[in-house]
Structure 1
């Protein structure tokens, strides 16, 4: 049995972290966040320019999928990342190497102006390795054209309003494999 990955996808400031935490807690599934890994790398290796930031993003992505590959077969894991910053083939190669399957994609989106405002509001609280306020107009334009990757069933989530976690858990559970073989993947009943 493969590890089931729940991808929480969306551009930066689209509400992924909140959705990821909520679904991870509700399912009792581990959460692997790109920013969590990336910020640890920044802390050890330092920050740099935009190219360095992208390199750290790819390294963090690779580290996450290496960890997914280490989970026992049948596990369920939640992955919080913007999956659109690299070719989809990069993702599919990592999924295959990790002996995983994408159970579903939770697509977090909202009005691009809201995303831009959220991004600017959090800039000063974020690790210095992340892009600064100068990225906000580019992010808004990205949010206007961004789409889910669509390699699995997609659940659309408008994060301008609170997401109904109980509904989301039911929807996600319908997409997960029925057989579960490890403590990491035992899901509570609703």
Structure 2
């Protein structure tokens, strides 16, 4: 069973995957990424409905975390107005006694430029989501507030060791 869960959250293209990957190496702990699971599902089941794949990927991520011992990093974009209830249910499912959330803090315009410039598989529907959702995301994005919150500026070089110390060095 997971002892400590580190959520890595932030706007799309805020640097979550990069930071989560570096932190997992720094701490020698597993990283569970919703997007990695979603891409595997999309490749395996190309006719599956795209919105369903995101939900299934997140449910799978929570189930994996629940079965892993020690510290685990879980990386995704959780939009608090939409996802807080789902995150609370996931936390209940995995029974993590200690939870920290790293919030990747980046100006919304920088994240938007990164988001628009990147190339990802069609399963993400990035162009549609950019047009339909970005303004709301940028205006209301915030940490979930479900544990210790560690804010990290990801529009500049990150001291991953300091982030690790902030997450692990406190009584969560």
1:169-188 residue CA offsets vs partner (Å, 9 max, x unmatched): 111111367xxxxxxxxxxx
- 1:57 corresponds in structure 2 to 54
Q: 1:141-152 counterparts in 2 under 5 A?
A: 141-152=136-147
CA-based RMSD of the aligned residues comes to: 2.0
Q: C-alpha distance in 1, partners of 2:2/2:37?
A: 23
| 1:42 equivalent in alignment to 2:37 | no
**2:165 is the alignment partner of 1:166:** no
Residue 47 of structure 1: how far off its partner (Å): 6.0
Deviation at 1:99, TM superposition (A): 2.2
Query: For the Cα contact (< 8 Å) 1:13–1:115, is it kept in 2?
Result: yes
* Secondary structure in structure 2 of the residue aligned to 1:24: helix
**Does structure 1 residue 133 correspond to structure 2 residue 101?**
no
In structure 2, the partner of 1:184 is: none
Structure 2 length-normalised TM: 0.89
Shift of 1:96: 1.6
In structure 1, the gaps of 5 or more residues are: 178-190
* Residue 78 (structure 2) aligns with: 83
CA distance in 1, matches of 2:125, 2:20: 22
Q: Is residue 32–residue 78 contact of structure 1 (8 Å, CA) maintained in 2?
A: yes
Q: Which of the numbers 104, 112, 130 marks the counterpart of 1:116?
A: 112
Equivalent residue for 2:148, pick from 130, 153, 169: 153
2-side partners of 1:87 and 1:159: how far apart?
22
Q: 1:70 to 1:2 in 2, by over 3 A?
A: closer
Q: Whose radius of gyration is greater, 1 or 2?
A: 1
Contact kept? 1:3, 1:101, Cα under 8 Å:
yes
User: CA deviation digits over 1:62-103, x for unaligned, max 9?
Assistant: 10111111113xx10001101227432222222222222352
> What is the CA deviation profile of residues 37-60 of structure 1, one whole-angstrom value per residue up to 9, with x for unaligned ones?
000011011166xxx333211111
Give the 3-state SS of the residue equivalent to 2:122 in structure 1.
Answer: coil
Number of residues of Structure 1 aligned to a counterpart in Structure 2: 170
Extract unaligned runs of 5+ from structure 2.
none
Scaled by the length of structure 1, the TM-score of the pair is 0.81
- Residue aligned with 1:9, SS: strand
Contact 2:2 2:65 in 1 (8 A): no
